[in-house]
Amino acid sequence: MRLLHGLLGLCLVAFAAPAAAQASASGPPDWWRAHVEFISRDGGVWVSPNPPGENDPDQPDAFAMEWRAAYGGHVLIGRLYGLEDGREVAEYWTFREFWHPGERRAIVQQWGGPGLYGVGESRWENGEGVLEQTFWLPDGRSWREGHRNRELGDTYITHAFDISESGEWTSKDPRTWRRTAR
């Protein structure tokens, strides 16, 4: 019982911030709040069909993303999955985006496949979201990718890029996503 009480005390201390810190915290910036509202609104489901005639027979008819806001809009929880004839057939990635209060920046993490992991930073720049991430394979090899995203009503336009070691961005996958009703 003494141990349980001690652990409870540690938990309470961990979640209690000093009054000065609470009073001075301004929270996430407006662009982050607008992004959270945009991507998670109306159930947060987005669909992007794959072009007919794709060479990959394992590629689904469409990709879908689902996003939900958590912790008062400080966190986005998402996933990317495939659709065949409107039914979910496979989940490819899970995501966490969050506003880091100490570093004052948006962090994006994602996990997929057999041990793939990616992490990076998201920012608002010249009217679009810009995301830069590093990904790792289970054996430690890594690569960099970027995204430039536009948020337009019920349309979400994403453009993926490979990022070379010298920092050059090479286009690889522009997509248009449409918000769908749940």
CA-to-CA dists, residue 134 to 125, 137, 163, angstroms: 19, 10, 9
pLDDT tens for each residue of 124-182: 999 999 999 999 999 999 999 999 999 999 999 999 999 999 999 999 989 999 999 86
Question: Could you give all domains of the chain from N- to C-terminal order, each with its CATH number?
Answer: 28-180 (2.40.128)
Identify the helix (H) or strand (E) that includes residue 22. helix 19-24
65 closest CA partner among 107, 97, 32, 29: 97
Return the beta strands (E) in 14-154 as ranges. Answer: 45-49, 62-70, 75-84, 87-100, 105-112, 116-125, 128-136, 142-152
Q: Which two tokens stand for residue 180?
A: 């769908």
Q: How confident is the model at residue 15 (pLDDT cuts 50, 70, 90)?
A: very low
Asked if 51 contacts 59 with a C-beta cutoff of 8 angstroms, the reply is: no
This prediction's pTM = 0.82
Q: What is the pLDDT of residues 20-66, one digit of tens each?
A: 334 345 789 999 999 999 999 999 999 999 987 666 777 899 999 99
The per-residue DSSP string of 158-169 comes to EEEEEE-TT--E
Residue 107's pLDDT band (cuts 50, 70, 90): very high
Could you tell me whether strands 142-152 and 155-163 are parallel, antiparallel, or unpaired per DSSP bridges? antiparallel
Q: What is the pLDDT of residue 65?
A: 97
Mean pLDDT calculated for residue range 93-113:
96
